[in-house]
Amino acid sequence: MYTFSDRSERSLTLRPEGTAGVARAFVEQGMASRPAPVKLWYNMNMFRYEKMQKGRYREFWQFGCEVFESENPEADAELIGLLDTYFAELGLSDISLEINSIGCPLCREGYRKALREYYEPELPGMCEDCQVRYERNPLRMLDCKETYCHRLAGDAPVQCDYLCDVCRVHFDKVKEYLDQLEISYTVNPRMVRGLDYYTRTVFEFVSLNVGTQGSICGGGRYDGLIREIGGADVPAVGFAMGVERLMLELEAQGIDLEAETYPDLFIASFPSTISHALSLAQILIREGLCVETDIMGRSLRAQLKAADRMQAYYVLVLGDTEVSQAKAKLRRLSDGSESTVTLTTIGTLLKNDKAKRSRQDQISAPEILGGMLHE
């Protein structure tokens, strides 16, 4: 992590991930009083002092969703289903879902003991990080990428052999729901998450494409985190994905989500009517429309050329007569068709036309999940 001292010798750390911060906000803002479950999402820049590689940087953007106050496996399945739909909406293929259960604190203690017994004879030859993890949290040793440590993990005991009855039933229900949702998955018994607060369900969506193989998105359940940071005993489940990693996968699969925004309307005006044009534009913008006016002092002909270059859908010429009569001719640039409209109703007309066009518009990656998950 990026940890350093400021001028007052206070130790500061740049945020490495979003879940802990969202959990703290849940506690500090009293969100437990909201109707359950509480569903939140975020999109923030994060910082990790790690070895840089393609798609993984020391500063990166992370998008995540969190669901609080449900300990039920339905919440796990719903969140995984959200991601499955999200990737389908983006047009991604060759994405594999891997799931596992790492149990609860009660049943995990027996698994930790089994891991320590397995790794103890090999510990002198393992990396420094794993020697520290051996004492703190041996589950993290399963996630080590060092060659020797990674090879040892292949024969290590698996958590599913040590699950208590409650955790086993929970995991079986998650799998049952995924089957009902027709979401394909593979149980990876050696999957763990990189942060220590996870419990029970953990999952990753992994790319199968050559050149971008690896995790695109990961998450899981963290039923004890809220209590650890001073809140009540609130269960939770969530996921996070690196935006740069996702964009790398989209690029590798030849998916271009960039969609230019074209003006719904260009209002051409004259020196005597520019103030009216600005006022009308402001009204329409507040109604959710994209509107351009001329602020360059160009001639009418130059304004019409500018509207064409911007690929505006409509153009309206606002002269003195149009202002006095409160109506004008609206021209559709795609075919040159015209209709006379009143200035008070033009907003409704344009919004209806925009709604028809939106069905054909491309959807950007950040917008899809924002629309799927509501607080």
pLDDT reported for residue 248: 87
Q: What is the rounded CA–CA span in Å between residue 14 and residue 47?
A: 6
Sequence-separated (6 or more) residues with CB below 8 Å from residue 185: 97, 98, 99, 175, 178, 203
CA distance 13 to 4: 6
Phi-psi region of 9 (alpha: psi -120 to 50; beta: other; left: phi over 0): left
Q: What CATH number does the domain located at 265-364 have?
A: 3.40.50.800
Contacts of 93 (CB under 8 A, 6+ apart): 253
Angle separating helix axes 105-119 and 128-136, nearest 10 degrees: 140
State how far the Cα of 27 lies from the Cα of 242, in Å rounded to an integer: 25
Q: Is 263 helix (H, G, I), strand (E, B) or coil?
A: coil
Q: Which two tokens stand for residue 45?
A: 């820049």
Superfamily of domain 2-104+164-253: Bira Bifunctional Protein; Domain 2 (3.30.930.10)
Taken as a whole, the chain contains a residue count of: 375
| Nearest 10 degrees: Cα torsion 292, 297, 302, 304 | 30
Q: What is the C-alpha separation between 274 and 241, in angstroms, rounded?
A: 47
Question: Cα(9)–Cα(1) distance, rounded to whole angstroms?
Answer: 18
Q: pLDDT tens digits, the chain, 375 residues: what are they?
A: 888 888 989 999 888 888 888 999 999 999 988 988 999 999 988 888 877 666 677 888 899 999 999 999 999 999 999 999 899 888 888 899 999 999 998 888 888 888 898 888 888 888 888 888 888 888 888 878 888 888 888 888 888 888 999 999 999 999 999 999 999 999 998 887 766 688 999 999 998 875 556 888 999 999 989 998 888 999 999 999 988 888 888 888 888 776 667 899 999 999 999 999 999 999 999 998 999 999 899 999 999 999 999 999 999 999 999 999 999 999 999 888 989 999 999 999 999 888 887 655 544 444 445 554 444
Nearest C-alpha neighbor of 313 from the set 330, 325, 299, 298: 330
> To which residue do tokens 């996630």 refer?
143
Residue 87 and residue 241 in contact, taking contact as beta carbons nearer than 8 Å: no
Does the global pTM surpass 0.75?
A: no
Distances (CA, A) of 243 to 45, 206, 361: 10, 14, 22
Q: Are the C-beta atoms of 216 and 203 separated by less than 8 Å?
A: no
Distance (Å, rounded) from C-alpha 350 to C-alpha 343?
A: 11
Q: How many Cβ atoms from other residues are within 10 Å of residue 25's Cβ?
A: 13
User: Do the domains at 2-104+164-253 and 265-364 have one common CATH topology?
Assistant: no
Taking the C-alpha atoms of residue 75 and residue 77, their distance in angstroms, rounded to an integer, is 5
Q: Could you tell me where the DSSP H helices lie in the chain?
A: 19-28, 73-90, 105-119, 128-136, 147-153, 165-180, 225-228, 243-252, 274-286, 300-309, 320-325, 346-358, 365-372
The letter for the amino acid at 165 is: D
**Domain regions of the chain by residue span:** 2-104+164-253, 265-364
* Nearest residue to 79 (alpha-carbon basis) of 219, 185, 235: 219
Q: What is the pLDDT of residue 129?
A: 86
